[in-house]
């Protein structure tokens, strides 16, 4: 009888511990793009900037957007910036873009320190 109680307590403690681990893992956020302007795989009139809205706030000092042309030359002018009024929104200005393919590379560091990154392409007509 004592061994059954001991086993039941051990199982209960294990369930509680596993639940705590699962709940705390949800507290850690990764930031991923929600809205990209221009959107991925679209053809647009030459934009003046490229922006990404993320699903979580990002750290300005460690997050960035870079835009390159089909030859790999950087066309973004200056550094990307996170909007101080909306820490989920980051943008970078681009020069006068000629017709062609462009690649956007982004790095987003969430406020809890988790880093995500990615790339996508768009075309200018």
Which tens digits make up the pLDDT trace of 24-50? 344 557 999 999 999 999 999 999 999
Distance CA 46, CA 91 (A): 15
Class of domain 33-124: mainly beta
pLDDT at 77 over 70: yes
Distance CA 26, CA 21 (A): 9
Instruction: Name, in order, each residue with C-beta under 8 angstroms of 95's C-beta and a sequence gap of 6 or more.
Output: 75, 77
pLDDT at 20 over 50: no
Closest among 116, 125, 96, 119 to 40, alpha carbons compared: 119
So what's the pLDDT on residue 5?
57
| All structural domains of the chain with their residue ranges | 1-28, 33-124
């Amino acid at each position: 009888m004592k061994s059954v109680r001991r086993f039941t307590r051990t199982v209960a403690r294990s369930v509680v511990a596993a639940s705590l681990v699962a709940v705390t893992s949800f507290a850690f956020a990764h930031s991923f793009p929600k809205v990209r302007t221009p959107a991925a795989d679209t053809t647009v009139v030459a934009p003046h900037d490229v922006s990404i809205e993320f699903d979580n706030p990002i750290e300005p000092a460690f997050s960035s957007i870079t835009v390159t042309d089909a030859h790999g030359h950087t066309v973004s002018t200056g550094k990307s910036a996170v909007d101080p009024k909306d820490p989920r929104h980051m943008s970078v200005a681009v020069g006068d873009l000629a017709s062609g393919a462009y690649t956007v590379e982004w790095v987003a560091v969430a406020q809890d320190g988790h880093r995500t990154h990615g790339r996508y392409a768009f075309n200018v007509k």
